[in-house]
Structures are given as structure tokens and as C-alpha cells.
Amino acid sequence: MIEFGWPWCFALLPLPLLAYFMLPRARHTEAALHVPFFNELARFVASRGYDQRATIARLLLIAMWLFLVLASARPMWIGDPIQLPASGRDLMLAVDISGSMGQNDMTLAGVSVTRLDAVKKIAGEFIKQRAGDRVGLILFGSNPYEQTPLTFDRQTVGALLNETPLGIAGGKTAIGDAIGLAVKRLRARPSEQRVLILLTDGRNNFGELTPEQAADIAATESVRIYTIGFGAERMVIPGLIFDRTINPSAELDTNTLEQIAELTGGLYRRARSTEELAAIYDELDRIEPIELSFETFRPQKSLFIWPLSFAFLISLILAALQPHVVGMKLPSFVSLKKHPAGSVTST
């Protein structure tokens, strides 16, 4: 449907008529020009169609005024109501992208992949499911970086996570600083909605804050932290004679991750495979449900440009007609009236 933002502008429609009838007009009492051939002059003007062109010009002026008033009234197209999520969780994801996340000990669809590639796939699916939540992304290694702020644009968050290169934030692991940055970004949001999901495959070995200090700050700011320890516990390395079996997650600090979750009211989960990681994200999806209250939004599109464009087009047409309307070299406001003795008065 179409609505008008300033409908009172339509009160201006009779303004030209009011000006025509109410403003004083100049009067000429004497003949401005005396000619003995008035009848011949009148027939010449009629034969050239000046009266018709003048009528067309007046009609175009009226149409131009109507379009100008219509544009001034701010016409708008109002679309159908659209429901938007009014509230949800403020969910921050902190993902470890240090060098150890390049360990090739995971499989996806039977194909061996790195830990980071597995996180991109599974966490990306988790992000897609969080309709109604504001989702943000922090990447950390030696330093934490806010890749995306809290936003409803889950597609962009997932795309930026998928494009993240390994080790871009440094080769070490600053878990405490990553938590501190997440708390800083979440503290402006309602306290009951602040959630951080932190995934790492190592231990804190760099940064200004210790994980315990950062967890205390998070608890004070009512930020719940769910921690995930990621990485396989068994990996076979081929040798020249014998194969060696190692634990690629020997550096994982399980006790600290458990302590962070306990201090902040969250949970700690251990993911040794992509299947376990997917199950953990499914569990988090159930633990932190999406709120389904909505606000109604009606899209608006301004239409004033159309009547304004028509008015401008009419002005161009009038400018093109003007030489023809006054082709006799008389001003456009001059009209001829016959007087006795063949005189003509200009008015």
C-alpha cells in the first residue's frame, strides 16, 4: 500500500488559484500599440496555432504543480509485515588458530583433515543454526582478534571463519587474553544473554591475563563460558621400520578448561574427533536455546523521486515549447485586445 509522510502538503494544491484571484493585477488604461491591421494579425496568430500551444503550456504547468505537491507529500510504499527476532543469545565464539591447530589428526567424510578445517566445518554448521542470536567471532593465537562483532548476519560470520588461515594470530596460545576480549565485547549486552564458547587444543603459554584471572572477570560480568578441548589422543606416525603411536593432544590443559567452565557456570567438553565435536555443538544448541520473541517490521520505500522526475520532465518540455509559444517575439504575458479605431492594447 501507499502512504504519505506529509499529507498536509496537499493543502497547497489551490495555492496557484488563490494567487491568481487574490493578488492584484497590473491594469493598462492606454493603448500600448496602434495598428490598422488588427484583424489580419489575429488571423495570422490563429493560423499558426499559438492559442493551442498556450493552452497546452497551461495544462503542462498545472500537471507540473500537481507532481511537485505529490512529491512534497512524501509518498512511500509500505510492504507486508516481516517478523524479526527481537531477542536471543549474545553468543561469542573464540577459536584457537595457533600452529597446533594444523595438526592433521581429524577426519571428515573419511578424508583426513586438520583440526582447523574440522572446526570450520562443524562450527560453521552450528553458526547457521543460531537464527535469532547475535553471533560474534574471536580468533586467537599469540594475540586475540575480534574477527566479527556481535551480529545477526550469521552468513558473514561463517564465511569469515571459513576463510581464516592457520597461524595468522601467532603461533602461541593466549587463552586468558581471548577470554578478556570476549568479556569486553559482551559486557554491553544484557547480563542473562552473555555466552562464550571457547575452543582450543593447547594450554595458555602467552598473554597478559592468566585463564584463571580472565575467568574471574567473566564470572563478575555474568558471562557463561563453555570450553571445548579439541584434538585426538592417538595418532600413528609411520616410520622406516616401526610405526610410532603418539598423543597429539599432550599439551591440552584439561584442568584449566574445566576450572574456567566451573567458575563461570558453563560446561567443559572434550572432543577427540569430528563426531564428538559435532555432538558437543548439538548439546550446546540445546543448553542455550534460541528465544523466539519477534518484532514486526514493515519495509518502506520512498517514491517521491517519481513525481519529482515527472515534474522535471514537464519543465524540459515547457522550455522546449517556449520559443513556439512566443514565436512572434512578444513576451509570454502579452495578450492582444481589440479597441475601437483599430488599436491594440497589450495587457
pLDDT digits (tens, 9 = 90+) for 155-174: 999 999 999 999 899 889 99
Cα–Cα dist 76/7, whole Å? 11
Q: 43 versus 1: which is more confidently predicted? A: 1
- Mean pLDDT over all residues of the chain? 81
State residue 345's pLDDT score. Answer: 47
Instruction: State pLDDT tens for residues 296-310.
Output: 667 778 888 898 899
State residue 332's pLDDT score. Answer: 40
Q: 84-293, what's its fold? A: Rossmann fold (3.40.50)
Q: Alpha helices of 140-245 — where are they, by DSSP H?
A: 154-162, 175-186, 211-220
Q: Alpha helices of the chain — where are they, by DSSP H?
A: 15-22, 38-47, 50-72, 115-128, 154-162, 175-186, 211-220, 254-264, 274-287, 305-325
| pLDDT mean over 26-47 | 56
Measured CA to CA in angstroms, residue 212 lies from 181, 191, 235, 256 at distances of 14, 21, 31, 8
Cα–Cα dist 346/248, whole Å? 104
State residue 167's pLDDT score. Answer: 87
State residue 55's pLDDT score. Answer: 77
State residue 218's pLDDT score. Answer: 94
Question: Does the pLDDT value for residue 225 go beyond 50?
Answer: yes
Q: 153 versus 286: which is more confidently predicted? A: 153
Question: Residue 344's pLDDT band (boundaries 50, 70, 90)?
Answer: very low
Instruction: State pLDDT tens for residues 40-91.
Output: 555 555 555 556 777 777 888 888 889 999 999 988 888 777 665 555 678 8
Strand partners, 228: 199, 269
| pLDDT mean over 322-329 | 50
Question: Does the pLDDT value for residue 28 go beyond 60?
Answer: no
State residue 86's pLDDT score. Answer: 52
Please tell me whether residue 55 adopts helix, strand or coil conformation.
helix
State residue 330's pLDDT score. Answer: 41
Instruction: State pLDDT tens for residues 108-152.
Output: 888 889 999 999 999 999 998 887 788 999 999 999 999 999 998
| Whether the model pTM is above 0.85 | no
